Structure 1
């Protein structure tokens, strides 16, 4: 072990070329780098925490007076569809992943009302369940211009 005496332990292999396997192709740099990428032991855990923390609104129960007013507005729309009235509708969208949901307000021209299935159809193709409507307001000419 004379190499160890002089402090040059690996001199015999230091300047040799790297061995190349005849069986295995060299790994691409991308695959080699992937071996050292961060490991996520709990994959999906952060998304689950974010989903749990996401807030939803509860559905508001309409008073009898508010329900009567909503029914009156719906009847007016049925009687005046030929005028293509513009309405502002605030309605509840149930959340598909957890209890509750969110309220959304849209404005559009009423194309149709289905009193049997209780649908409101807007000109943009949106179909809104009347059972989810919180507020249905007729828009006047000034609001239509906006």
Structure 2
């Protein structure tokens, strides 16, 4: 199933052959009018519904009731430099239905960023101070490179 090249089988231990799938899945933000027990994924084009279900059940131990897939066609656009038409890659989406008692909420990363805002502002001020000291140290020597200092 994998397209990777492996070393030829040799007798003895340890074996150098490892089988890895070429499948990948990416969590996508759900639409606003979606039920709480449905999760959206963007997945590789080679994956089938059964692959998606087995992937989630075997690797992540997520109970899956149903899987629906949809392929969206990539957009056609004109290349800026050359002017010819370019088509983006097609994308396959998988809509995974969880049991009714399970509820999935997309993780909100923005709230965590707001909490760290004070720390980020403090580190920015420190960086500005060190840069100003660096500029002031090399102000008198216009002909010497800035990296050349004692």
Q: Tell me whether the two structures share a fold, i.e. TM-score over 0.5.
A: no
TM-score (norm 1): 0.22
> Which has the larger helix fraction?
1
Bigger Cα Rg: 1
